[in-house]
Amino acid sequence: LLPELVQTSDVELLEAISKGDERALASLYDRYRAILFGLLMRILNNRAEAEDVLQEVFIQVWQRAANFDATRGKPFTWLVTLTRSRAIDRLRALGSRERTVEQATREAEDVIFDAEQNAIESQRGEIVRAALSELSEEQQQVLTLAYFDGFSQSEIAEKLNSPLGTVKTRMRTGLMKLRDLLGRQTQILA
């Protein structure tokens, strides 16, 4: 890759992609493949499926880059939201949510709290994991079931045999606490 592409901002890369610049897409892929693939592996727990979805996500980025509006959101958020959404769709299509949840539950402790990467991402990982650890176990549980396993509030209530109101409260308070905790680290997480 040319050095100028490595230094280019995400927004500039998306602008270039929208104009058909294939090198820009390659650069964006190189920048985020590892973190997005980690997320896909966490959700799908299947390497081949995760690779399929990763490819699908970047094809969609290629197709829809022209519709990305930097005044309305961040490229990283868009990529993660798109990736998670496609992964949950795939999980449902495979009908393998139960399996993944069982596995996720079994491995939750060491999967979520065991990241490694380069210095910056490692630092970001530490901040997010530290913030997550500040939440109660119940709050972590509902957020994990919703975010990584794609369950709705009603499904979580049924799964945990808890009242729907309780699940909503845990989700709301957990998210607000997470927002507060992460909000103090915006410079590092930006």
Partner 1 sequence: LKEQNEKSEYLAAHALDALNQIEAQELAAEIAEDEGLAAELEDWRNVLANLAYAVPVAEPSPSVRANLLAAIKITPQKQKKIVEDANNGGAVVERPKSSPQPEKSNVISFPTPVRSTRSFWSYAPAFGAVAASIVAVFLGVALYNTSQSNLTQIAELNQKLVTAEQQLNEAQTQLMRERQERELLGSPASAVFSLTGTEDVPGAKARLVFDQKTGKAVLFVEGLPDAPQGKAYQIWWITDPKKPAPGGTFKTGAEGKGELRDQIPQQYTKASFFAVTVEPEGGSQSPTGSIILKSPV
Q: Give, as ranges, the residues between 60 and 119 that touch partner 1 (CB under 8 A).
A: 60, 62-70, 72-78, 80-86, 88-89, 93, 98-100, 102-103, 106, 111-117
Take residue 63 and report the two structure tokens written for it: 């197709």
Closest approach of partner 1 to the CB of residue 7, in Å: 20
Q: Which helix (H) or strand (E) holds 70?
A: none
Nearer of residues 8 and 42 to partner 1, judged by Cβ: 42
User: What are the DSSP E strand ranges found in the chain?
Assistant: none
CA distances from 82 to 79, 96, 131, 132 (A): 5, 20, 23, 22
Q: Find the shortest distance in angstroms from Cβ 8 to partner 1.
A: 18
Cβ atoms of 146 and 156 closer than 8 Å: yes
Least distance (Å) between residue 41 CB and partner 1: 5
Task: Write the single-letter amino acid at 25.
Answer: L
Identify the residue among 5, 13, 16, 50 touching partner 1 (CB under 8 A). Answer: 50
User: Which residues, 136 to 175, sit near partner 1 by CB under 8 A?
Assistant: 143, 146-148, 150-154, 156, 168, 171-172, 175
Residues in 117-136 that interact with partner 1 by CB under 8 A: 117, 121, 124-125, 127-129, 132
Binding mask 6-45 for partner 1 (x = CB under 8 A): ------------x-x-x--xx--xx--xxxxxxxxxx---
- What is the distance in angstroms between the CA of the first residue and the CA of the last residue of the chain? 24
Nearest to 155 by CA among 84, 86, 88: 88
Measured on CA atoms in the order 24, 30, 31, 35, is the torsion positive or negative?
positive
Minimum CB–partner distance for residue 23 and partner 1 (Å)? 9
CA distance 156 to 154: 5
Closest approach of Cβ 161 to partner 1, in Å? 17
* Closer to partner 1 by Cβ: residue 4 or 89: 89
